[in-house]
Amino acid sequence: MFYAYILVFSKILNKNYTFAAKTIKLEQKDKEIFENGQKLPLIDEFYTVQGEAFHTGLAAYFIRIGGCDIGCRWCDTKISWSFDTHRLADVKEITENVLKSKADTIVVTGGEPTLYQLAPLCSEIKKHNIQMHIETSGAYQLTGEWDWICLSPKKQTPPRDEIYQIANELKVIIYNVAEDLKWAEEEATKVSRNCYLYLQPEWSRRKINTPLVVDYIKKHTKWKLSLQTHKYINIK
């Protein structure tokens, strides 16, 4: 069987497989997941309500795509990190599942979904007049057509410049409070004036960090609090 070492990640969508973080080993036939977006490595798909930020409480069908090299130490979806263990699902199959759920909004998340070509998924689902939301660190080139872009930047791999002005919300996770609030302020200077600004206490430190974040928001009122409400009510 023919194997290719495909080099990721910084310019993967430009088909410029540069050495950036590591190499991954994929079967030749699986190169299509990076190159044409007709299939995506699917971790999970489920109909629930959005738990975080602006659309908290909104019914939405979540599509969780595998693969991430950002490496947040507090990541709550480390299962998503691997690139080659998730089932490749055809975008038509994903769309059929969305339609069966009767959802009118989908949220594409990960992992880091912008590692992949997302235009085929968007165009397939958009045929059915369904709202397309994405949650991304912004580390890679965003493809596809989106109704809502949640930018959740990560210090270790900052967003690409072009995503700041098209982000609808900026959601900064607060783990090391002083350091992360400083980072949040820096990131807030880069987004558009219409972008909603959220600070979200990291879950494992929520008991300590949430009161500190609340205090900060009371003094810096451009920010709003985002809580992971789905975790409080124990749903996906």
Least gap, CB of 203 to ligand SF4 (angstroms): 11
Under the criterion CB under 6 A, does residue 71 sit at the interface with ligand SF4? Answer: yes
Pick from 192, 147, 196: which is nearest to 170 by CA?
A: 196
> Strands 105-109 and 59-65: what pairing?
parallel
Under the criterion CB under 6 A, does residue 80 sit at the interface with ligand SF4? Answer: yes
| Rounded Cα distance, 9 and 7, in Å | 7
**What DSSP string describes 55-116?**
GTT-EEEEEEEP------TT-S-GGG--SSSSEEEEHHHHHHHHHHHT-SEEEEESS-GGGS
Contacts with ligand SF4 in 126-145 (CB under 6 A)?
Answer: 137
Under the criterion CB under 6 A, does residue 154 sit at the interface with ligand SF4? Answer: yes
Residue from 30, 52, 112, 187 touching ligand SF4 (CB under 6 A): that is 112
Under the criterion CB under 6 A, does residue 42 sit at the interface with ligand SF4? Answer: no
CB 77 within 8 A of CB 110: yes
Under the criterion CB under 6 A, does residue 65 sit at the interface with ligand SF4? Answer: no
CA angle in degrees (0–180, nearest 5) for 8-11-17:
45
| Sole window of 17-25, 74-82, 189-197, 200-208 interacting with ligand SF4 (rule: CB under 6 A) | 74-82
The burial of 40, by beta-carbon neighbours within 10 Å (0-12 exposed, 13-18 middle, 19 or more buried), is given as buried
Residue from 37, 51, 66, 111 touching ligand SF4 (CB under 6 A): that is 111
Least gap, CB of 218 to ligand SF4 (angstroms): 27
| Rounded Cα distance, 138 and 49, in Å | 23
State the first-to-last Cα distance of the chain, in angstroms, to the nearest integer.
38
For residue 9, the 8-state DSSP code is: S
Least gap, CB of 81 to ligand SF4 (angstroms): 7
Of the two residues 17 and 175, which places its CB atom closer to ligand SF4 in the complex? 175
Under the criterion CB under 6 A, does residue 66 sit at the interface with ligand SF4? Answer: no
For residue 165, the 8-state DSSP code is: G
| Sole window of 7-15, 25-33, 69-77, 195-203 interacting with ligand SF4 (rule: CB under 6 A) | 69-77
CB 33 within 8 A of CB 41: yes
Residue from 8, 12, 53, 70 touching ligand SF4 (CB under 6 A): that is 70
Least gap, CB of 139 to ligand SF4 (angstroms): 8
Given the rule CB under 6 A, which residues bind ligand SF4? Answer: 68, 70-72, 75, 77, 80, 110-112, 137, 154
